Structure 1
Amino acid sequence: MTKEELVELFSNLHPEDSTGQMIGEVHLADGRVMKTDSLRVDMDGGRIIISEKHSSMHEATKKNWIQELIFYRNKKRRSA
């Protein structure tokens, strides 16, 4: 997936697809599936960061995503 494809996908969401929680799933080589609510889309770095619930980065990833969202909303407000 490219950044352009991700932006295109999210810019044309159906209303029912634009609300609610997101859960990340990582399918591991040994067949296990890790699920988490700690997700962050890092557009600058071209990464989707998924942190396991009991990892040291779980809360940091969630907080960093909130900061990204605040930055975006402030930028949007200034350009309006």
Structure 2
Amino acid sequence: MSSTLNFKAHQMVMFSATWPAVVHRLAQEYMDPNPVKVVIGSEDLAANHDVMQIVEVLDDRARYEQLTAFKISLHWLNRMGSI
């Protein structure tokens, strides 16, 4: 049993929705120089068409009012079980 406790063994796992160069460099720096990369699906980046993104450019006052209204709507949607 003592022989099994004398070796250095550890496992490090990194998760990333994408694998940009900066994540690859981190893996090489903190892990074995040749980390194993597991890809599920395609490596090609693709937009998720189920996600809607809205961009609004507002001044400071309008931004606060819009954020407050958004938080209230999220609160009510959550209470109704919609989100």
* TM-score, normalised via structure 1 length: 0.32
Larger of the two Rg values belongs to structure: 2
Q: Which has the higher contact order (CA 8 A, sep 6+)?
A: 1
Counting strand residues as a fraction of each chain, which structure ranks higher?
A: 1
